[in-house]
Structure 1
Amino acid sequence: MTTTKQKTALITGASSGIGYELAKLFAQDGINLVLVARRKSLLEEIEKDFEQRYKIIVHCVELDLALLDSPAQLYQFCQKNNLQVDYLVNNAGYGDYGKLVTVDPALYQNMLTLNVLTITTLTSLFVRDMVQRRFGYILNIGSLAAFQPVPQMAVYGASKTYVMHFTEALHAELRGTGVKATVLNPGVTETGFVERANMGGAAYAQGTLLKASRVALAGYRGMMAGKLNVVPGFFNKLLSISTGLTPSRRVLLAISSFVMRGK
């Protein structure tokens, strides 16, 4: 891989969880950062810490990426400040646990804008410059939910299936350009995701969860190696493989319904 000196990584949803852990990995390798999130105070704390500890340059962007014009604003910010983005990490996203009939449609509109449209637009904007320079890495954060229909999280699961298929297709399109696209599909992880998704009552959310640092490291290494699809954790890998081996979609749906039931 080309030297990381003077390289810059842009990470969305960078104030906590997997996004924060990924930012730390880039910082440890001496890569400058553009960190994007809604919580400016947390970003500023990270900026001060990383600049002092790792001697890198950190730019903080307070932005709600669920707004349709936010990807263009973010791209323009980088252009205006002469920031060449060499690594793009689309981490921002969220889910919601509950039956479709019980949820306000506005929440799904917001979720799909962030989970699908924002990732697509940001990738489309930045990948053009990467291809022109013949260097770049893209890491899109999907989910283990991408591999099968997910009752109780129907919209979230479908959005992550989009992220996986989109990234894998992009990986093929970029062959020979010097740019790589990787999708990271973690299972439920120790972040704020479970709380925000109101998922505490789901059987799937019980028991031992992977730490965000472990998930981030798997994604970081996979991205740097140009891998197609990364699923951290042995049990999660088995689940992702088994969905393709299940002979019936009805059986797969029944298994998924059982896993996602209330505890």
Structure 2
Amino acid sequence: MAGAERWTVITGASSGIGEELAKVFAQRGYPLVLTARRSGRLETLAADLRRSHGVPVEVLALDLEDRGGPQELVDWLKERDLTVHTLVNNAGFGLRGRFASLPFERQVAMIDLNIVAVTVLCRLLLPGMIARGRGGILNVASTAAFQGGPFMAVYYATKAFVLSLSEALYEEAKPFGVTVTALCPGPTETEFSMTADLESSKLFKKGAMSAADVARSGIAGYEARRAVVIPGMPNRIGAFGAKLLPRSLSRKLAGLLQQGE
């Protein structure tokens, strides 16, 4: 395998936004490394992308909730001499419910996946991008990042971290020709909504974007070297409104939207 290839690494690539991001990058001719826990779905997607777009696609089944997972991924890339041009931190999950009632083990696992894995992978792979003077990172955050979120307290907090980290790294990396972009989708039609028990929430019932539209918007913004991408006008209005409203009102509104009807 040629180390000179500009590989794109996508975490959480077996479904939803991650799967659609893989399809769009493949259409653009990027060689891909796809990682997620479900090897069967990854292998099926990889075969489809190779056949449809003629790009190299490698697969690694990996659980990034494991604190050793990010280092395992980077070691695997080094063993194969794969030069990472773009890192896509998409893997993540959410849970809906009261903070004091949700299983604390799953909330800590959410922090490990949504925050720790993202941070470690950025730290391990960004120096090489800076040294080469090209490439970048696309971190999948959420419109949840713009306010506190009662009934999804830890999830909202993790996405606020991802947004803040991404914006800071954007400024640090920009002088070296490297881009760091935060993709902040709102409600999206993916398996995430089922895992998080969101489908009955007022927020989800207000309408959701397709994962394909989110992916196209995110990659377009990343290629345009934007720091933050919010797909869809309603989501942009909502994020802007969260900045204008008093925080006391913004968090109450977020809590109301998380509740079921």
Q: TM-score normalised to the size of structure 2?
A: 0.97
Give 3-state SS (helix, strand or coil) of 1:164's partner: helix
Give 3-state SS (helix, strand or coil) of 2:176's partner: coil
Q: Structure 1 unaligned runs (5+)?
A: none
8 Å CA contact 2:185, 2:214 repeated in 1: yes
2:192 is matched with 193
1:108 Cα deviation from its structure 2 partner? 0.7
Alignment of 1:8-157 (within 5 A): 8-157=7-156
CA–CA distance in structure 2, aligned partners of residues 138 and 225 of structure 1: 13
Q: Does 1:216 align with 2:215?
A: yes
1:177 is matched with 176
CA–CA distance in structure 2, aligned partners of residues 167 and 54 of structure 1: 30
Task: In structure 2, give the amino acid aligned to 1:242.
Answer: G
8 Å CA contact 1:149, 1:157 repeated in 2: yes
1:252 Cα deviation from its structure 2 partner? 1.7
Query: Which stretch shifts more, 22-31 or 199-208?
Result: 199-208
Give 3-state SS (helix, strand or coil) of 2:96's partner: coil
8 Å CA contact 2:17, 2:214 repeated in 1: yes
CA–CA distance in structure 1, aligned partners of residues 256 and 66 of structure 2: 35
8 Å CA contact 1:137, 1:224 repeated in 2: no
CA–CA distance in structure 1, aligned partners of residues 9 and 185 of structure 2: 20
CA–CA distance in structure 2, aligned partners of residues 25 and 199 of structure 1: 26
1:67 Cα deviation from its structure 2 partner? 0.3
1:201 Cα deviation from its structure 2 partner? 2.6
1:249 is matched with 247
Give 3-state SS (helix, strand or coil) of 1:31's partner: coil
1:26 Cα deviation from its structure 2 partner? 0.9
Instruction: String of CA shifts for 1:78-103, please: whole Å, max 9, x gaps.
Output: 00000001010000000000001211
2:259 is matched with 261
8 Å CA contact 1:201, 1:262 repeated in 2: yes
Give 3-state SS (helix, strand or coil) of 1:139's partner: strand
**Same amino acid, percent of matched pairs:** 37
1:207 Cα deviation from its structure 2 partner? 3.8
Task: In structure 1, give the amino acid aligned to 2:254.
Answer: S
2:237 is matched with 238
2:161 is matched with 162
1:258 Cα deviation from its structure 2 partner? 2.0
1:261 Cα deviation from its structure 2 partner? 2.1
Give 3-state SS (helix, strand or coil) of 2:186's partner: coil
Instruction: String of CA shifts for 1:116-157, please: whole Å, max 9, x gaps.
Output: 000000011010110111111210000010000111100000
Task: In structure 2, give the amino acid aligned to 1:192.
Answer: E
CA–CA distance in structure 1, aligned partners of residues 6 and 134 of structure 2: 11
CA–CA distance in structure 2, aligned partners of residues 63 and 234 of structure 1: 35
Task: In structure 2, give the amino acid aligned to 1:230.
Answer: V
Task: In structure 1, give the amino acid aligned to 2:125.
Answer: F
Instruction: String of CA shifts for 1:183-213, please: whole Å, max 9, x gaps.
Output: 0000010000110012223111114210000
CA–CA distance in structure 2, aligned partners of residues 249 and 201 of structure 1: 25
Task: In structure 2, give the amino acid aligned to 1:164.
Answer: L
Instruction: String of CA shifts for 1:4-39, please: whole Å, max 9, x gaps.
Output: x93210000001111011101111111100000100
Q: Structure 2 unaligned runs (5+)?
A: none
